[in-house]
Amino acid sequence: MNNWFEALPGTLMAVWNRLGRAVGDPAAPMNVVTLATVGRRGGAEARQVVLRRADPEAALVEFHTDTSSDKVAELTRVPWATVLAWDAESRFQIRMRTHVTILSGDASRGMWKGVREGARRHYGANPPPGSPIAASDAFEQRADPAHFAVLRCIVQEIETLNIQDSIQRRAIYRRGDGWQGGWLVP
Ligand SMILES: Cc1cc2nc3c(=O)[nH]c(=O)nc-3n(C[C@H](O)[C@H](O)[C@H](O)COP(=O)(O)O)c2cc1C
C-alpha cells in the first residue's frame, strides 16, 4: 500500500487528522500554530495561537483571543489570515489561507461557556493587551466575556509540504474546486 503522502486524498486526510488531534491536546505538534495577518502598517504580523477547533466538513479552524488585541484590529481591517503548522515528527507543513469572521458578544457567548475557568482570565486584561505599562505586572487580569472573541477562519486554500529524505512533496487544495488538489514543484 502507498504511504499517505504519496497520494492527494491521503495527504488532505492527514491535514485534518493532524489538526483534529491537536485540538485539546497540548502535547500534539499542531496544538500551537502560527497565525499571520496583514499588519496595520502594511507588513505581515505573526504570532502563536492555540488551535481550538478544526472542522473538516466545514473546512474551518478557530482560535480564541481578546477583542482588544492587535490581531483583531488587523483582521477587522483585512479579514484574511494564513495559518501555518509544522509536525516535526512526520516532517509535514500545513499552510492554510483563510477568510476570517470575528465572533464576539452574542455570537461568542455559547463558546465562552466552553472555556475553562482558569483560562477565562486571558480575556479582558485591563489595560488592554499591548498597552505600555510601567512594570511588567502593572495590569489586572479579568475574565470578561465581553472581551472574548472567536476567530473563525474559513479555509480557502490548503498547501502542504512533506519532506522525506529522498523527495519533497508539495500539494495544493482549493475550496473553489471541491478540494480535489494538485501537486506543485516543492
Ligand atoms: C504557546 C503560545 C500560545 C498562545 N496562544 C494564544 C491564543 O490562543 N490566543 C491569543 O490571543 N494569544 C495567544 N498567544 C499570545 C500571542 O502569541 C500574542 O503574543 C498575543 O496574542 C498578542 O498578539 P497580537 O498583538 O498580535 O494580537 C500565545 C502565545 C504562545 C507563545
Contact between 94 and 107 under an 8 Å Cβ cutoff? The reply is no
Determine the average pLDDT of the residues in 97-125.
Answer: 96
Per-residue pLDDT of 29-49, as tens digits, reads: 999 999 999 999 989 999 999
Contact between 58 and 46 under an 8 Å Cβ cutoff? The reply is no
- Give the 3-state secondary structure of residue 162: strand
Cell 477583542 appears where? 67
166 lines ligand 1 (CB under 6 A): no
63 lines ligand 1 (CB under 6 A): yes
Per-residue pLDDT of 54-101, as tens digits, reads: 999 999 999 999 999 999 999 999 999 999 999 999 999 999 999 999
Atom 29 of ligand 1, nearest CA residue: 48
Task: Pick one of 2.40.30.10, 3.40.50.300, 2.30.110.10, 3.20.20.120 as the CATH number of 4-105+147-184.
Answer: 2.30.110.10
0.95 cut: is pTM over it?
yes
Domain extents for the chain? 4-105+147-184
Quickly state the pLDDT bin for 2 (edges 50, 70, 90): confident
Residue 1 reports pLDDT greater than 60:
no
Residue of 33, 48, 116, 141 with the most ligand 1 atoms within 8 Å of its CB, for mutation? 48
Please calculate the CA angle 70-76-79 and round it to the nearest 5 degrees: 110
